[in-house]
Chain A
Amino acid sequence: SQKIEQNSEALNIQEGKTATLTCNYTNYSPAYLQWYRQDPGRGPVFLLLIRENEKEKRKERLKVTFDTTLKQSLFHITASQPADSATYLCALGSNTGKLIFGQGTTLQVKP
Protein backbone atom coordinates (compact mmCIF):
# COMPACT_ATOMS: atom_id res chain seq x y z
CA SER A 1 0.00 0.00 0.00
CA GLN A 2 1.03 3.64 -0.43
CA LYS A 3 3.10 4.96 2.42
CA ILE A 4 4.50 8.40 3.20
CA GLU A 5 6.96 8.93 6.02
CA GLN A 6 8.07 12.18 7.57
CA ASN A 7 10.34 12.64 10.57
CA SER A 8 8.08 11.56 13.41
CA GLU A 9 10.10 13.31 16.06
CA ALA A 10 10.01 17.06 16.45
CA LEU A 11 12.89 19.00 14.96
CA ASN A 12 14.43 21.58 17.29
CA ILE A 13 16.87 24.11 15.84
CA GLN A 14 18.41 27.42 16.76
CA GLU A 15 17.23 30.64 15.13
CA GLY A 16 19.25 31.48 12.03
CA LYS A 17 20.09 27.87 11.18
CA THR A 18 18.72 25.91 8.25
CA ALA A 19 15.93 23.44 8.97
CA THR A 20 15.77 20.37 6.76
CA LEU A 21 12.67 18.18 6.75
CA THR A 22 12.41 14.84 4.97
CA CYS A 23 9.56 13.15 3.16
CA ASN A 24 9.95 9.57 1.90
CA TYR A 25 7.32 7.57 0.07
CA THR A 26 6.80 4.05 -1.27
CA ASN A 27 4.45 2.29 -3.67
CA TYR A 28 3.42 5.50 -5.38
CA SER A 29 4.36 7.55 -8.42
CA PRO A 30 3.07 11.05 -7.74
CA ALA A 31 2.54 13.57 -10.50
CA TYR A 32 3.64 16.27 -8.05
CA LEU A 33 4.45 16.88 -4.43
CA GLN A 34 3.41 19.73 -2.17
CA TRP A 35 4.47 21.09 1.19
CA TYR A 36 2.01 22.68 3.58
CA ARG A 37 2.36 24.45 6.91
CA GLN A 38 -0.14 23.85 9.68
CA ASP A 39 -0.46 25.79 12.92
CA PRO A 40 -2.35 24.31 15.89
CA GLY A 41 -6.11 24.37 15.42
CA ARG A 42 -5.90 25.69 11.86
CA GLY A 43 -6.13 24.27 8.36
CA PRO A 44 -2.99 23.59 6.31
CA VAL A 45 -1.53 26.48 4.29
CA PHE A 46 0.09 25.80 0.92
CA LEU A 47 3.81 26.60 0.64
CA LEU A 48 5.36 25.00 -2.44
CA LEU A 49 4.52 22.61 -5.28
CA ILE A 50 7.09 20.65 -7.28
CA ARG A 51 6.29 18.47 -10.28
CA GLU A 52 7.74 15.03 -11.01
CA ASN A 53 9.94 16.42 -13.80
CA GLU A 54 11.43 19.15 -11.58
CA LYS A 55 14.42 18.71 -9.29
CA GLU A 56 14.28 21.86 -7.19
CA LYS A 57 11.99 24.78 -6.41
CA ARG A 58 12.67 27.90 -4.38
CA LYS A 59 10.50 30.57 -2.81
CA GLU A 60 12.11 33.20 -0.63
CA ARG A 61 13.73 31.27 2.28
CA LEU A 62 12.15 27.96 1.25
CA LYS A 63 13.64 25.29 -0.99
CA VAL A 64 12.21 21.95 -2.01
CA THR A 65 13.97 19.11 -3.81
CA PHE A 66 12.30 16.11 -5.38
CA ASP A 67 14.12 12.89 -6.25
CA THR A 68 11.75 10.43 -7.91
CA THR A 69 14.47 7.75 -8.02
CA LEU A 70 15.04 7.86 -4.27
CA LYS A 71 11.32 8.61 -3.75
CA GLN A 72 12.24 11.45 -1.47
CA SER A 73 11.65 15.16 -1.04
CA LEU A 74 13.66 17.49 1.16
CA PHE A 75 12.24 20.77 2.45
CA HIS A 76 14.66 23.45 3.62
CA ILE A 77 14.00 26.66 5.53
CA THR A 78 17.07 28.87 5.58
CA ALA A 79 17.75 31.57 8.18
CA SER A 80 14.99 30.07 10.32
CA GLN A 81 12.95 32.26 12.67
CA PRO A 82 10.80 31.44 15.71
CA ALA A 83 7.78 32.35 13.54
CA ASP A 84 8.62 29.33 11.36
CA SER A 85 7.69 27.04 14.26
CA ALA A 86 4.79 24.88 13.06
CA THR A 87 3.97 21.44 11.69
CA TYR A 88 5.00 20.88 8.09
CA LEU A 89 3.09 18.41 5.95
CA CYS A 90 4.25 16.67 2.81
CA ALA A 91 1.53 15.69 0.32
CA LEU A 92 1.67 13.59 -2.83
CA GLY A 93 -0.66 14.52 -5.67
CA SER A 94 -2.14 12.70 -8.63
CA ASN A 95 -3.79 13.99 -11.78
CA THR A 96 -7.18 13.74 -10.08
CA GLY A 97 -6.01 16.37 -7.61
CA LYS A 98 -6.43 14.09 -4.61
CA LEU A 99 -3.65 14.53 -2.03
CA ILE A 100 -2.10 11.89 0.20
CA PHE A 101 -0.50 13.46 3.26
CA GLY A 102 2.31 12.39 5.53
CA GLN A 103 1.85 12.63 9.28
CA GLY A 104 3.78 15.89 9.46
CA THR A 105 6.93 17.03 11.23
CA THR A 106 6.82 19.60 14.01
CA LEU A 107 9.53 22.24 13.79
CA GLN A 108 10.51 24.30 16.81
CA VAL A 109 12.87 27.24 16.21
CA LYS A 110 14.42 28.56 19.40
CA PRO A 111 15.48 32.21 19.70
Chain B
Amino acid sequence: DTGVSQDPRHKITKRGQNVTFRCDPISEHNRLYWYRQTLGQGPEFLTYFQNEAQLEKSRLLSDRFSAERPKGSFSTLEIQRTEQGDSAMYLCASSLDGKGGAETQYFGPGTRLLVL
Protein backbone atom coordinates (compact mmCIF):
# COMPACT_ATOMS: atom_id res chain seq x y z
CA ASP B 1 0.00 0.00 0.00
CA THR B 2 1.43 3.39 -0.97
CA GLY B 3 -0.88 5.63 1.03
CA VAL B 4 0.04 8.02 3.82
CA SER B 5 1.17 6.25 6.98
CA GLN B 6 1.45 7.56 10.52
CA ASP B 7 3.17 6.15 13.55
CA PRO B 8 2.20 5.51 16.26
CA ARG B 9 -1.53 5.09 15.82
CA HIS B 10 -2.18 5.66 19.51
CA LYS B 11 -0.15 7.37 22.23
CA ILE B 12 -0.93 7.74 25.91
CA THR B 13 1.37 10.00 27.88
CA LYS B 14 1.50 11.85 31.15
CA ARG B 15 1.25 15.60 31.33
CA GLY B 16 4.63 17.24 30.96
CA GLN B 17 6.16 14.51 28.82
CA ASN B 18 7.39 15.03 25.26
CA VAL B 19 5.92 13.07 22.35
CA THR B 20 6.94 12.72 18.71
CA PHE B 21 4.81 11.54 15.82
CA ARG B 22 5.96 10.45 12.39
CA CYS B 23 4.27 10.79 9.00
CA ASP B 24 5.33 9.10 5.77
CA PRO B 25 3.60 10.72 2.79
CA ILE B 26 2.87 9.27 -0.61
CA SER B 27 6.30 9.06 -2.19
CA GLU B 28 5.99 11.52 -5.08
CA HIS B 29 4.04 14.14 -3.09
CA ASN B 30 5.92 17.35 -2.43
CA ARG B 31 3.47 18.90 0.04
CA LEU B 32 2.84 17.62 3.54
CA TYR B 33 0.28 18.96 6.02
CA TRP B 34 -0.39 18.47 9.72
CA TYR B 35 -3.88 18.91 11.18
CA ARG B 36 -5.37 18.40 14.62
CA GLN B 37 -8.90 17.10 15.16
CA THR B 38 -10.89 17.00 18.37
CA LEU B 39 -14.12 15.08 18.90
CA GLY B 40 -17.05 16.47 16.95
CA GLN B 41 -14.94 18.98 15.05
CA GLY B 42 -13.34 19.07 11.65
CA PRO B 43 -9.55 18.97 11.23
CA GLU B 44 -7.73 22.22 12.07
CA PHE B 45 -4.68 23.22 10.08
CA LEU B 46 -1.40 23.27 12.01
CA THR B 47 1.41 23.59 9.47
CA TYR B 48 2.58 22.55 6.04
CA PHE B 49 5.75 21.85 4.10
CA GLN B 50 6.63 22.16 0.47
CA ASN B 51 9.52 19.72 0.10
CA GLU B 52 11.67 20.44 3.17
CA ALA B 53 10.57 24.06 3.62
CA GLN B 54 7.97 24.83 6.29
CA LEU B 55 5.86 27.48 4.57
CA GLU B 56 3.07 28.23 7.01
CA LYS B 57 2.29 27.69 10.67
CA SER B 58 -1.05 28.21 12.37
CA ARG B 59 -1.39 30.33 15.46
CA LEU B 60 -2.60 27.09 17.06
CA LEU B 61 0.98 25.86 16.87
CA SER B 62 2.42 27.15 20.14
CA ASP B 63 6.14 27.17 20.86
CA ARG B 64 5.74 23.72 22.42
CA PHE B 65 5.05 22.30 18.97
CA SER B 66 7.70 21.79 16.33
CA ALA B 67 7.56 20.06 12.98
CA GLU B 68 10.30 19.03 10.61
CA ARG B 69 10.64 17.47 7.21
CA PRO B 70 14.41 17.16 6.96
CA LYS B 71 14.84 15.60 3.53
CA GLY B 72 11.54 16.48 1.99
CA SER B 73 10.19 12.99 2.60
CA PHE B 74 8.86 11.93 6.03
CA SER B 75 7.91 14.48 8.68
CA THR B 76 7.88 14.54 12.46
CA LEU B 77 5.68 16.53 14.80
CA GLU B 78 6.96 16.96 18.34
CA ILE B 79 4.99 18.27 21.29
CA GLN B 80 7.02 19.28 24.30
CA ARG B 81 5.67 19.47 27.87
CA THR B 82 2.33 18.00 26.85
CA GLU B 83 -0.86 19.38 28.39
CA GLN B 84 -4.27 17.74 28.70
CA GLY B 85 -5.57 20.15 26.07
CA ASP B 86 -3.21 18.56 23.55
CA SER B 87 -5.33 15.39 23.58
CA ALA B 88 -6.62 15.02 20.02
CA MET B 89 -6.21 13.13 16.77
CA TYR B 90 -3.19 14.37 14.82
CA LEU B 91 -3.64 13.91 11.09
CA CYS B 92 -1.06 14.09 8.37
CA ALA B 93 -1.91 14.63 4.71
CA SER B 94 0.12 14.86 1.54
CA SER B 95 -0.49 16.23 -1.93
CA LEU B 96 1.14 17.00 -5.22
CA ASP B 97 1.39 20.70 -5.91
CA GLY B 98 -1.02 20.87 -8.82
CA LYS B 99 -1.81 23.30 -11.58
CA GLY B 100 -4.19 26.11 -10.69
CA GLY B 101 -3.59 25.64 -7.00
CA ALA B 102 -6.34 23.08 -6.53
CA GLU B 103 -5.10 19.81 -5.16
CA THR B 104 -6.37 16.71 -3.45
CA GLN B 105 -4.98 15.94 -0.04
CA TYR B 106 -4.59 12.31 0.98
CA PHE B 107 -4.86 11.74 4.70
CA GLY B 108 -3.21 9.18 6.89
CA PRO B 109 -5.06 7.23 9.59
CA GLY B 110 -4.01 9.68 12.29
CA THR B 111 -2.29 9.41 15.66
CA ARG B 112 -4.63 9.59 18.62
CA LEU B 113 -2.96 11.28 21.60
CA LEU B 114 -4.28 11.08 25.14
CA VAL B 115 -2.56 13.17 27.78
CA LEU B 116 -3.33 12.07 31.33
Contacts and interface: CB of A to CB of B under 8 A. Distances in A.
Contacts, number: 71
Given A98-B48, A99-B45, A103-B41, A46 B102 contact: no
A96 B56 contact: yes
B43 to A, nearest CB: 5
A23 to B, nearest CB: 11
Interface residues of A, number: 27
Contact of B31 (A45, A94, A97): A97
Interface size class of B (residues with CB under 8 A): 20 to 34
A43 B108 contact: yes
Contacts of B35: 101
Interface string B32-49: 010100001111110010
Interface of B: 4, 31, 33, 35, 40-45, 48, 55-56, 91, 93, 95, 97, 100-110, 112
Interface of A: 4, 31-32, 34, 36, 41-46, 49, 51, 89, 91, 93-104
